[in-house]
Amino acid sequence: MSSLASRLAVATLATALGGALPAQSPTAADSAAVVTAADSAAVVTAADSTVAGSDVTASVTFGKYVRRGGQVTYKVKVVNRRYAGEASVLVAGNFPPGTRGVKVAGKPRGVTCEVRKRRILDCEVASLGRGGKVVLTVRARLSSAERGTYVAKFGLSYVAGGSGHLWERDEVRFTKFTTRIV
């Protein structure tokens, strides 16, 4: 893809994804998040309302186009930028009807993932220290009958301490990631 085409794709994606994503942080339930776009990737930033900047971020890279009956691959990179202690992180995903299945194709040790009802994903990063990062690879298979656009949603939440946290999925706000079916 040429440089101009890449820039146009980024501008289009930035316009489509322009919005906010609140995420729960260790000190504030009403944290704000910023969503920006960069060449078919979006950065979901969970920012603490009492600290300038962001603590834990997740960037999602995905394909802009998919054939009917094909699969979309999402690479989710979670980074603890400034949170001083160990953080337990939940990466949640919701996939639309017409999804034949969701598979976690790649994850490091210390990450547990669960797929329910073929289209609900929960991955818990047990412990992420300051400066630590984790990359997850998630594949969603589409039904051959699907047409138009495929909209997956990812959200992020984190708390202080290691694993063992009981997550409230209702508290996670999701950002949409749209792929065009060709």
Does 80 have pLDDT greater than 80? Answer: yes
Buried b (16+ CB within 10 A) or exposed e, 125-157: bbebeeebebebebebbbeeebeeebebbbbbb
Q: Where are the beta strands (DSSP E) in the chain?
A: 32-37, 41-47, 56-62, 65-66, 71-80, 87-94, 99-106, 111-116, 120-128, 133-142, 149-160, 174-181
Name the residue type at position 173: R
Pick the closest to residue 89 from 99, 79, 97 (CA basis): 79
Helices (H), the chain: 3-17
Q: Which domain holds residue 152?
A: 3-181
Instruction: Say which CATH number the domain at 152 has.
Output: 2.60.40.740
The pLDDT mean for the chain works out to 75
pLDDT, tens digit, for every residue of 120-142? 999 999 888 888 999 999 999 99
Q: Scanning the structure block, which residue is given the tokens 């890279």?
A: 61
CA 103 to chain centre: 15
pLDDT, tens digit, for every residue of 23-38? 333 333 222 233 333 3
Reduced to 3 states (helix: H, G, I; strand: E, B; else coil), residue 5 is helix
What angle (nearest 5°) sits at the alpha carbon of residue 164, between those of residues 26 and 78?
Answer: 55
Number of domains forming the structure of the chain:
1
Reduced to 3 states (helix: H, G, I; strand: E, B; else coil), residue 29 is coil
